[in-house]
Structure 1
Amino acid sequence: MREFWIIFKQAFMTKAKTKSFIITTALVVAGIFLLSNLPRILDSIDGIGGDEPTAMKVIDTSGKLDDPLSAVLQANESDITIEPTKESEKDLEKQVRSEDIESFLTLSLDETNTIQAKYTTLSSIEMSLPEPLRNALQTVQAGIKADELSLSGDQVNSLFTQVNFENNNISASAKSEDELNQARILVYVLMFVIYFAVILYSGMIATEVATEKSSRVMEILISSVSPVKHMFAKVLGIGTLGIVQILVYGIVGFIAFKTSASEATEGIGSFFNFTDINPMTLVYAVVFFLLGYFLYATLAALLGSLVSRTEDVQQMIMPMTLMIVAAFILAASGLGNPELVYLKYASFFPFFTPLVMFLRVGMLDLPMWEPLLAIAIMLVTIFVLGWFGARVYRGGVLMYGPSRSLKDIKKAIQLGKE
């Protein structure tokens, strides 16, 4: 057991001290603090430039829309100010083309007293000006029609009263609307965490094994430690490092958003307010994360033992990568409707279970036997894969030369018997 913990510590500390790991962790931490303070930074930049109002030249052929539009914009506290002009449309177009002005607005009323507006600009993606102008003109239009119908302000407001629509789902597996929305957010976030953790740390394990083989260190290690101990020590060591890194990101994120109080961060805080989430959902998140990691990490160690050059690692683990990508696509397809039939069957396939079953258990009230059966299948798969992986690993770490992909598994088993 002493040898196991020595390799465990070596795998953990070696990766933790690498420049790439430290730089990546530092960049992500800095990115979290930057994201949490982004509204404050943007406000300071806007403050440097000043909040000068935008003057909008308006051609009003009706002579009735300038003042109402200006009044609505002022009431909305918009930075746009209306500047009526008698210039022709062609003259203003020339000014736009020569970039003397950014844009202008042409207004008119047709025979039904409906506003006809045309916004002219050179920008194909301009949205900051047209949208508030469109909304303000819609308000002016409502006022014109209200005058035609002799409606009071209260009567106009009553026309826009929101309908009280309640979604009542009587399905045995359905959750309330608030629970479903919060569960969807939590599932979506944790799906990304599981997906990237499996991709990143499993690849790290395969690369670490291949690196030791390429430097011939493996021949020395297996003379004093059994390949099985070596494989699982690598898996647990790098897995623990990954969990620590994720916890650091989580703690830093919590501190960053708590210490940078602003309207945006308060909005994000309310967005991620999981008061209606079943605590068991969080338990399942941890369980499926750990099981998913060990399942793919064991497979990665197996595949990494078959290559003797780090350049061949990505090619060898490509089938494993495609499986986790397929699992993520399946789970993402069920965010809108987790009751799809194919998701039920896919959730019991062990390589899809960490994402797909977590999606279902997070968004539906499933009978207890379904997640428990999925967990049992994963445990059995990890045990079988560990047993088979140990046999392959025992011979694979002694194989050198060019890799012939998965065909080398048979050769590795035979070499391990010898």
Structure 2
Amino acid sequence: MNKMGTVIGFTFRQKARTKSFIWTTIILALLLTIAMNIPFLISIFKGDEAGTTGGKQPVQVGLIANEYTTAAEELEQYSLTQSATPVQWTRYPGTNDHGLKTAIADEKVKGYVELVKPEGGGMFPLVRYTSVDDEPSQGVISLLQSGLQKAKAKAVAGDTLSPEQLAQITEPVAIDSREVSSAEAGGTDGAAAEADVGDINYAVIYVLMILFFTSAMMTGNMIAAEVTAEKSSRVMEILITSVAPLTQMFGKIIGIFFVGLLQIFVFGLVVAGNLMLPHNEAILGGFDMRLADLNFEMLIYGLIFYVLGYFLYGVLFAAVGSIVSRTEDLGQAVMPITMLSLVAFYIGIFNIGASDNMLVKVASYIPFTSPTVMLLRIGLDRAAAWEIWLSLVLLVVAILFFGWIAAKIYRTGVLMYGKRPTIKELRKAMKAYKI
């Protein structure tokens, strides 16, 4: 056990101190920071000071009411209650007003809205929105449509409706959106009603699947490269006399696992730090993501599937690295494992909106794809408890089986030099060793 700890500690210190690991972590952390602050950076380059106040600055728009003062007042009152597209209206008597022209020249207003009498006659004015320099804002257009709806209803109905009836007419229809599983639709016993998953769970699922794929690929290639480098430099001949091959293999896998955890911890601090910035709190608040909606069971199972999935891919990378004599041949050798991880990633990421199809259900029990696909089903409440545990049992069995095979390949391959051994040669050499 002391030798195992020595190998783990040596591998961790050696990989964590390399310039490639340090610079990769720094660059990815910087890219993550930039990506999370893109809305704030855009506002700075546009000259918008929304980021300094922690909220959205209202858009300054001119308003020419003409004789339609009631409609203009309704629009102004409605705008005060809106936070998605805050607009501050400034009244002007007409389009030729000197004050409006000066405000446009000084870029104090983004455009103006004019309520004009329609050519064919009518009780409600024609709304003419003129945007200066930029394309007409869809947010302002939506605000105009919603804000003038009540005024139009009042103009058409006159005094025949009470204020309460007008409010009910202009109030948008409430839609209760929910999802139903195929089992519930068919009336299958034990089917539970699907609750609203929440946007935050979709975001966390995306992050966890991307995290598993990138981490498994980076650390897996590190394991294979470490084994191949020691083998090609003939250091393995010295190590093999002092430490058992099995101890070496699992020591390297666990040591690099801690390196991956260190990198994930750094990225977690970067994400948490950026989320705490005032301008990001205001921006993310507009996405309607609430911590109360987060499926914490998904986080717990996600950690378990991440650890088990890492070790499954880790033993495969170690086995492949042991049969390659030159680092130049490593990329081609690990290609099949890379393709497996890509399949797992793509099945999960492209079926996030269709998590009940047969492909997802079958893939959630296959050990090579279950770390991402079963995580998807757990996050969207599509998996029963017995399905989750069955997937975990199959994953553990796969780790033991492939770990046993990888140990025999590793013990045989680390001392086989020259061309890459064939499957027949490996089988013959593996029979000489018993694990």
Residue aligning to 2:195? 177
Instruction: Summarize the alignment of residues 212-361 of structure 1 with structure 2, pairs less than 5 Å apart.
Output: 212-254=230-272, 257-258=275-276, 260=278, 263-264=281-282, 267=285, 271=289, 273-274=291-292, 277=295, 279=297, 281-361=298-378
Task: Work out the CA distance in 1 between the residues paired with 2:130 and 2:406.
Answer: 66
The residue identity in structure 2 corresponding to 1:223 is: T
Instruction: Summarize the alignment of residues 123-202 of structure 1 with structure 2, pairs less than 5 Å apart.
Output: 126=135, 129-136=137-144, 139-140=147-148, 143-150=151-158, 154-159=164-169, 160-163=171-174, 165=176, 167=178, 171=184, 172-174=190-192, 176-179=194-197, 183-202=201-220
Q: Residues 69 and 136 of structure 1 are in contact (CA less than 8 Å); yes or no, is this contact kept in structure 2?
A: no
1:17-55 superposed Cα distances (whole Å, 9 cap, x missing partner) = 012222333345556666777777777763499989767
Task: Work out the CA distance in 2 between the residues paired with 1:387 and 1:28.
Answer: 35
Q: Secondary structure at the match of 1:305?
A: helix
Label 1:155 to 1:257 Cα distance change in 2 as closer, same or farther (>3 A): same
Q: Residues 51 and 279 of structure 2 are in contact (CA less than 8 Å); yes or no, is this contact kept in structure 1?
A: no
Residue aligning to 1:14? 14
Shift of 1:174: 4.1
Residue aligning to 1:98? none
Aligned residues: 399
Shift of 1:323: 1.5
Q: Residues 194 and 381 of structure 2 are in contact (CA less than 8 Å); yes or no, is this contact kept in structure 1?
A: no
TM (norm. structure 2) is 0.73
Label 1:345 to 1:19 Cα distance change in 2 as closer, same or farther (>3 A): same
The residue identity in structure 2 corresponding to 1:345 is: V
The CA RMSD over aligned residues, in Å, is: 4.4
Task: Work out the CA distance in 2 between the residues paired with 1:287 and 1:48.
Answer: 41
Label 1:116 to 1:72 Cα distance change in 2 as closer, same or farther (>3 A): closer
1:167-190 superposed Cα distances (whole Å, 9 cap, x missing partner) = 485944546524565544443332
User: Is 1:78 the equivalent of 2:96?
Assistant: no
Label 1:139 to 1:122 Cα distance change in 2 as closer, same or farther (>3 A): same
**Structure 1 vs Structure 2: percent identity of aligned residues?**
30
Q: Secondary structure at the match of 2:214?
A: helix
TM (norm. structure 1) is 0.76
Q: Residues 219 and 257 of structure 2 are in contact (CA less than 8 Å); yes or no, is this contact kept in structure 1?
A: yes
Shift of 1:288: 0.7
Residue aligning to 1:411? 425
Task: Work out the CA distance in 1 between the residues paired with 2:172 and 2:59.
Answer: 33
The residue identity in structure 2 corresponding to 1:149 is: A
Q: Residues 153 and 166 of structure 2 are in contact (CA less than 8 Å); yes or no, is this contact kept in structure 1?
A: no
Q: Residues 29 and 252 of structure 1 are in contact (CA less than 8 Å); yes or no, is this contact kept in structure 2?
A: yes
Shift of 1:331: 1.9
Q: Residues 395 and 415 of structure 1 are in contact (CA less than 8 Å); yes or no, is this contact kept in structure 2?
A: yes
Q: Residues 61 and 87 of structure 2 are in contact (CA less than 8 Å); yes or no, is this contact kept in structure 1?
A: no
Task: Work out the CA distance in 2 between the residues paired with 1:320 and 1:210.
Answer: 16
Match of 2:48 among 46, 49, 71: 46
User: Unpaired runs of 5+ in structure 1?
Assistant: 88-100
